[in-house]
Amino acid sequence: MSTLLRGATVVDLEPACVEVADLRIDGDRIVERATVLEPRPGDEVIELRGKLLFPGLVSAHHHFTSTLLRGAPRVGTGFAAEQHARHRLAEVIDGDQLQAATTAGALEGLQAGTTTVFNVHASGAHVAGSLSRVAHGLNGVGLRAVLGYLVSERGGAQARQAALEENLDYVARAKGRFRGAFAAESLASLSEEGLGSLDDALRRTGAMLLATLAEDPAEERESRDRFNATAAERLVARGMTGSRVVLAQGVHLSWPELSELISAGTWLAHAARSNMSSATGRAAAGKFGVRACLGTDVMSLDVFAEVQAAALRANDSGQPIDALRFLANGHRLATEAFGLPVGPLQPGAVADLMVLDYHPPTPLDAQTLAAHVLHGLSGRLVESVMVDGLWRLWKRKSLALDAVEVARASAEAAKAAWALMKG
């Protein structure tokens, strides 16, 4: 039995297209699109006249553990305080708390129209199996996800090896809506041995690398003192760049570093809200090149809010960004990760989409689409969401989870984690 979505105003991002059309979905794919499609015997017909049909959104860099940091006690302010809180949480969080935080954060994302997330985390003593706990937390929500455990040497060489092994194990097991990746942070202090081990694992598995780079203004100095090269230069020297690499933040990258990364086809994920919140600096997102995309980092999993903040930040910097390109690049990145066409609402693509109850107060067409995305659309307008051909949110309610219970479990997890963070 297929699903026929009739009469919606259908949006594609790049090239921009806005038209009234019908879509037929069979299994996990869009199989037909036309001005009018006639129902077939057994079709589920859903009338969407007056509604907006929009591709599901992608966050290229996120931390679900940050769900538990909303209102958590901080030491100091700015970037140092943010990092201290995140690292302290990673030291104390257990598997149950990790899963509860993931479910709560993912459900918020689903309600805001996010359907794919690239998530990274660390969990101290609870390394083994923690990526599976994240996947379990996501499963009931229904999101598509690429998951990686953060490799670093903050806990020493043994902790680094445990993180590598967790990634290796999950990369081999992930399937369906999930993919495994290798994640990395604190590259300025990662030894040559550690970076070499990570490089070797990437080459052996072909998995993606999800890394944070040039977020801390002190990173360049630390890396040059230890290795006579910046973290970006070390990655370039090893060939750890290209279409299987996503580098988040990039606030303090130099122009030559940006040029090298862009020329190699590396994805650069911009997280404007997080940068502003932690006062870490102003990334030159307008110079991030043809593979620039958006990450929500430690903020809520709301890509509409992210693209709006990114556009305002870029305008204020005098370096405007192409908001539709940034959103569409999230789909291109997801396509790279899953080996399936993700994003365009066209035949052959996976059926990841949302229904928005949006009644535009000005003409909506290809020329005005970006303005409506930046100044009119938001998560509050998301009515229903489909991922992989299945409705995950219907009439603003999850079809698998009790939102009140999800929030309660996360709040209990936060209280327990905060008590340990103070210790």
For residue 415, being part of any structural domain is answered with no
pLDDT at 6 over 80: yes
In this structure, is residue 266 part of a structural domain?
yes
pLDDT at position 77 over 90: no
**185 in a structural domain:** yes
311 and 369 together in one domain: no
Instruction: Please indicate, yes or no, whether the overall pTM of this predicted structure exceeds 0.85.
Output: yes
Residue 140 has a pLDDT of: 96
Of 129, 81, 88, 144, the closest CA to residue 301 belongs to 144
The CATH number of the domain holding residue 206 is 3.20.20.140
Give the tens place of pLDDT for each residue, 7-20. 999 999 999 999 99
Do residues 28 and 64 both lie within one domain? no
Tokens of 376: 């009119």
Residue 167 in contact with residue 205, Cβ under 8 Å? no
- Domain end, chosen from 287, 310, 337, is at 337
Q: Could you say which of 315, 337, 359 is where a domain stops? A: 337
Q: Which of 290, 311, 337 is the last residue of a domain?
A: 337
Instruction: With a cut of 80, say whether residue 46 has pLDDT above it.
Output: yes
373 and 240 in one domain? no
pLDDT value of position 26: 98
Instruction: State the pLDDT at residue 1.
Output: 80
pLDDT at 57 over 90: yes
What are 60's two structure tokens?
A: 């290229």
Length of the chain as a residue count: 423
Quote the tokens at residue 279: 């006062």
DSSP string, 201-227: HHHHH--EEEEEES-STTHHHHHHHHH
Question: 191 and 269 share a domain?
Answer: yes
CATH code, domain carrying 379: 2.30.40.10
Given this model, what pLDDT does residue 125 score?
Answer: 85
**Domain for residue 106, yes or no?**
yes
Q: Is residue 323 within 8 Å of 373, Cβ to Cβ? A: yes
Strand arrangement of the beta sheet that strand 114-121 belongs to? 57-62, 114-121, 144-151, 178-184, 208-213, 245-249, 267-270, 292-294
Q: Pick the closest to residue 3 from 46, 35, 32 (CA basis).
A: 46
Specify if 237 maps to a domain. Answer: yes
Decide if 184 is inside a domain. yes
Residue 248 lies in a domain: yes
Q: Per-residue pLDDT for 344 more than 80?
A: yes
pLDDT score for 138: 98
Mark whether 13 and 96 lie in a shared domain.
no
**pLDDT for 205-220, tens place per residue?**
999 999 999 998 889 8
How many domains would you assign to the chain?
2
Residue 401 lies in a domain: no
48: containing domain? 3-55+344-396
User: What value does the mean pLDDT of the chain take?
Assistant: 97
